[in-house]
Amino acid sequence: MLKIITRKINTARKLFTFGIRGVRGQKSTIYEFLLYCVDRIYESITKKHSRLYENVITKRRKMMYEHNGVYTLKDARLPLLDSDREEGLFSYTFDDTFIVYMQYDDCYDETKINALYDATPEGPYGLKNDLVDATIKAGDIVIDAGSWIGDFAAYASAKGAVTYAFEPDERNYEILLKTAELNKNIHPVKKGLGDKKTNVKFAGGDSSSSKIVSRERERERERERERKTRRLMTPDLLKSRPQPSMTLWRKTA
């Protein structure tokens, strides 16, 4: 019991720290931070995610950046999205791709954006310190592997780079083509990237996630389906099921 209580306290402390750093990093408002806390408390009690925080932050950012039929993020442009991808953009990938560009004047100095590293899903897509300068500059060649709708490709375009955007998902690729029409020097490629040339089964996602389905996993699923079918057809199971009764009439002349 003590271990469970300790684990719950540590989880709550981490979530609180995450939310506070989000406010400090200008990712969210105090109101959104409170909603985030309510969301996580509700999730811990019911084991369900209310998505209240995501809905509120998505609506705020949509109102800020939707203009004339596109999302305008300074010099980057994105086409309007369906509700799932819109939430994926504004409550998830926006923090990694655009928050420094929009709210920190595109300054990736590590000392200035340090609060964002633990307050964004993957961390800002750039870094500059005494050892490295991983920022995009005009004339750079950018490989965007898993481009999704082209959000990072649009940012790279705004910086003056040439981007080769790889996206194998059919629906996401269609949106990526629209993004390429709105921004310069984006070259969409309807393929995935890997360490060898091969064909794989691909499961598309509704919002911002897609994945490769391994052949071994598919074979295991097929074996499981076969096992279930065999279990359903066993004689003992058939005997245990009540059989329907039928009464036949013979028509006589």
For residue 58, count other CB atoms closer than 10 A to its CB: 20
Please give the chain's pLDDT, 253 residues, in tens. Answer: 566 556 655 555 555 555 555 555 556 677 777 777 777 677 777 777 778 878 888 998 999 999 999 999 999 999 999 999 999 999 889 989 998 999 889 999 998 888 777 777 788 899 999 999 999 999 999 999 999 999 999 999 999 999 999 999 999 999 999 999 999 999 999 998 888 888 777 766 555 666 666 566 656 666 666 665 555 555 555 455 555 554 445 555 4
Q: Which tokens belong to 230?
A: 């065999």
The residues spanned by each domain of the chain are 2-217
Encoded tokens for 229: 């079918």
Mind giving me the DSSP string for 78-93? EE---HHHHHHIIIII
Strand duo 141-145 + 162-166: pairing: parallel
The answer to whether the Cα torsion of 125, 164, 160, 103 is positive or negative is negative
How many CB atoms lie under 10 A from the CB of residue 183?
A: 20
> What is the torsional sign of CA 60, 64, 69, 75?
negative
**C-alpha span between 214 and 202 (Å, rounded):** 9
pTM for the whole thing?
0.74
Alpha helices in 25-137 (DSSP H): 30-46, 52-65, 83-88, 94-97, 99-103
Report the pLDDT value the prediction gives residue 20, as an integer from 0 to 100.
54
